């Protein structure tokens, strides 16, 4: 197997993120690959169905800022410099597809909860990323 050169790890900034980051760092180091951290901030308008007659720009900016700060903390901890920390706004699956192409990634790493039954029907980000990403996708089982 040829070595991966350009790895993207998508993280949701929950307390589970380090489980995914630990493996992504180890995998990238083993391959001598470049590692990029990605977090997608979901548009606040989505959560309210666009029904609230309110300017949500400030709230969106705050979420964006908090995400950048958290990503910077992980960047320090996992040795990923600023240029490889990406925060973007949109639907996680679509943004991850777009960034994988834009960054010419050869591996995308995501966490997976291994849902069963009804939860499985609802789908998961890992599944959405797998269907639509052209390069390899590695799902890290979250414990
Ligand atoms: P979920 O299916 O939402 O439980 O998420 C599983 C995995 O998808 C997480 O461990 C992340 O790798 C990725 N993910 C979910 N939400 C986001 C997000 N907003 N930005 C980047 N990655 C995400």
Give the pLDDT band of residue 143 (cuts 50, 70, 90). Answer: confident
How many angstroms separate the alpha carbon of residue 81 from the centre of ligand 1? 21
The third-level CATH classification (topology) of the domain covering 6-141 is Rossmann fold (3.40.50)
Q: What is the pLDDT of residues 63-75, one digit of tens each?
A: 999 999 999 999 9
Region for residue 24 given its phi and psi (left: phi exceeds 0; alpha: psi -120 to 50; beta: otherwise):
alpha
Q: What is the pLDDT of residues 76-131, one digit of tens each?
A: 999 999 999 999 999 999 999 999 999 999 999 999 986 766 666 556 899 999 99
Among 121, 126, 133, 140, which is best to mutate for testing ligand 1, by the most ligand atoms less than 8 A from CB? Answer: 126
Quick one: pLDDT at residue 62? 93
Residue nearest to atom 5 of ligand 1 (CA): 125
Quick one: pLDDT at residue 30? 97
How far is residue 140's CA from residue 109's CA, in Å, rounded to a whole number?
Answer: 7
Q: What is the pLDDT of residues 36-48, one digit of tens each?
A: 999 999 988 766 6
Pocket of ligand 1 (CB under 6 A): 10-12, 16, 20, 38-40, 92, 110-111, 113, 124-126
Quick one: pLDDT at residue 85? 98
Instruction: Report domain extents, the chain.
Output: 6-141
Quick one: pLDDT at residue 27? 97
Residue nearest to atom 19 of ligand 1 (CA): 40
């Amino acid at each position: 197997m040829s070595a991966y050169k350009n790895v993207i790890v998508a993280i949701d900034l929950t307390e589970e993120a380090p489980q995914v980051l630990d493996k992504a760092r180890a995998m990238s180091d083993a391959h001598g690959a470049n590692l990029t951290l990605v977090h997608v901030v979901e548009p606040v308008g989505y959560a309210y169905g666009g029904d609230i007659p309110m300017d949500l720009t400030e709230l969106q900016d705050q979420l964006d800022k908090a995400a950048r700060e958290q990503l910077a903390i992980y960047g320090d901890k996992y040795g990923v410099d600023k240029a490889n920390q990406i925060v973007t706004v949109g639907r996680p699956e679509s943004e991850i597809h777009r960034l994988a192409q834009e960054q010419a990634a050869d591996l995308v790493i995501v966490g997976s909860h291994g849902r069963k039954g009804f939860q499985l029907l609802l789908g998961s980000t890992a599944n959405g990323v797998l269907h639509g990403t052209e390069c390899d996708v590695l799902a890290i089982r979250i414990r």
